[in-house]
Amino acid sequence: MAYQYFNNNPSGKMTGDCVVRAVSLATDENWQKTYIGLALQGFLMSEILNADSVWGAYLKNNGFIRHTIENSKPDCYTIGDFAADHPEGVYVLGTGSHAVSVIQGTVFDAWDSSNECPIFYYSRD
């Protein structure tokens, strides 16, 4: 598992926009286009743009499929574990309070979130 710093927020801010950063990287869009797309999706759904249902719908519209992560292990299955188990592919993981991209086994985030525990993820199958 590898970690690489990633923050494409045009102002360099690192809080409150993890969904925009993760989704923009996974969809190969810039931050601004993703923000507008998520805002429009949220408007259509009468929900805030970083709600799981909104960014999930946005990813589904971009060819991603949602998967759940079984909580059958005695210890937390971390984002780092997920990255190690998925050396190929593009994924967006959700923890319930954070979103992060994992691409080709590397965690891309504005901070090393590899010890967080994901509960679901999206992949482009």
The three-state (H, E, C) secondary structure of 17-41, written as one string? CHHHHHHHHHHCCCHHHHHHHHHHH
**What total of structural domains would you count in the chain?**
1
**CB 107 within 8 Å of CB 6:** no
pLDDT digits (tens, 9 = 90+) for 85-100: 999 999 999 999 999 9
Does pLDDT of 9 surpass 80? yes
Structure confidence at residue 74 (pLDDT): 61
Structure confidence at residue 71 (pLDDT): 72
pLDDT digits (tens, 9 = 90+) for 33-63: 999 999 999 999 999 999 999 999 999 999 9
Average pLDDT rounded to a whole number, residues 64-93: 90
Average pLDDT, the chain: 95
Residue 118 is part of which domain span?
A: 2-123
In the numeric block, the tokens 């809080």 are attached to 15
